[in-house]
Structure formats: structure tokens, C-alpha cells
Amino acid sequence: MRRQHLVGLSIAIAAMVMNITPAIADVFAYKDANGVLTFTNVPNHAGYRRVIKESNGQTYLGSTASSAYEDLIRSAANRHNLDVDLVRAVIRAESDFNSNARSQKGAMGLMQLMPETARFHKVVDAFDPSDNVEGGVRHLKMLLERYQGNLELSLAAYNAGSGAVEKHGGIPPFAETREYVRRVLRYYDSYRGSGLTSIQQLRQ
């Protein structure tokens, strides 16, 4: 029931965005004392929080695309003490939330686990969303610990492997890897404080 209500909110917000001119595409939400949510593109007091941010003329609705996997993403992230928005950003960059995705190199599922990575993290079915996200979050956590919290190096290793990062003493000079790191960081920034994440917090 809760998920259906959130989806309904997402549709309502998306409809609102379509009717907002590009110059004022940011959308803000406010929850009053009765728990009623109000959305506007022209906030008139400090109680409003931005839930949709326009970037370079393109409006992106926070975590709407990930709503189908929200519970398992949040559960795995919390279990391993990772930022939920970072996990969402990696999934979006890796598979765009397609649990059946398979790359030409053999990476599988939401977090595009390579067969050896899946085996290392004891992932039984890499195309099962829950199993895949658990393995992917474990791997990301392991990399963050290995590189002492350096997010860029950890993301580079997630994409190109730790061997490549260590061989080059930093982010490898591969166009694909450099663009991957930039893309994840861009998605991460767009998720934080936007979309359904903010709406869920407002509803609590």
C-alpha cells in the first residue's frame, strides 16, 4: 500500500514537472502539521525542501526509477553502512535498474557483477535483485575500505578492477573508467536530497 502511494506521488510530481517552464523546473515540497504534502515550484517559506532539481536544462526526478527496488537497496546499504544514494547511483550507472542486464564482458544484473566477483561474494543468482544488490554492496564496501574511503578510486576499481587502479597508481587512463566515475558521481549528486528520498523523509 505504501509503495503504491509513493508511485502515485511520483506520477503526480512528474505531471507537475511537465507543466513547469525550463527556467523554473525545480520543485519543492512541504509537509504541514496535519501531514499534508504540498508541492510547488515557487516556495514561499523556508519549510519547503527541494525534491526535484533541474540540471543543465534537464530535469531528473530523484530516485523514482529505483522505487521498485527501494526496500532491498535501503536494506543492503544500511546493513553494510553505505549511503543509500551512492548505491542507487552505482546501480543507475551500471544497469539503469535493469535486473536482467548482461554486458558483453559478462557482467550481470543490477550492479553488473562479473562472475568471479559474484562467486567471491557468494552470490548464488546474479540476476536475482536481492542477491545481486547484496553482493554488489559488499563489493563496494570492500573497495571503500581498501582505498580508505576514497570514493573516486573505489568507483574506478568497481569498474576496471583493483589491479588496474594499483597498476596506474590511481584512476586508470581508460576513457570508459573515467567517464564511469564522473557519471556515478553526477548521479550520486542528483540523488542526494532529491526525489523520492526527500518525499519519504517528509512523510515520516
CB 29 within 8 A of CB 48: yes
What count of other Cβ atoms lies within 10 Å of the Cβ of residue 112? 24
Q: Could you give all domains of the chain from N- to C-terminal order, each with its CATH number?
A: 2-65+193-203 (no CATH), 70-191 (1.10.530.10)
Tell me the pTM: 0.67
Torsion of CA 177, 160, 190, 127, to 10 degrees: 130
> Which pLDDT value is given to residue 28?
66
List the pLDDT tens digit at each of the 204 positions of the chain. 444 444 445 445 555 544 444 444 566 677 777 777 777 777 777 666 666 655 444 444 444 446 789 899 999 999 999 999 999 999 999 999 999 999 999 999 999 999 999 999 999 999 999 999 999 999 999 999 999 999 999 999 999 999 999 999 999 999 999 999 999 999 999 888 655 544 555 455
CB 88 within 8 A of CB 77: no
Question: Which amino acid type is present at position 58?
Answer: Q
Which residues participate in catalysis according to the annotation? Answer: 94
Tell me the CA distances in angstroms from 82 to 16, 137, 153, 168, one per residue in order: 32, 8, 16, 27
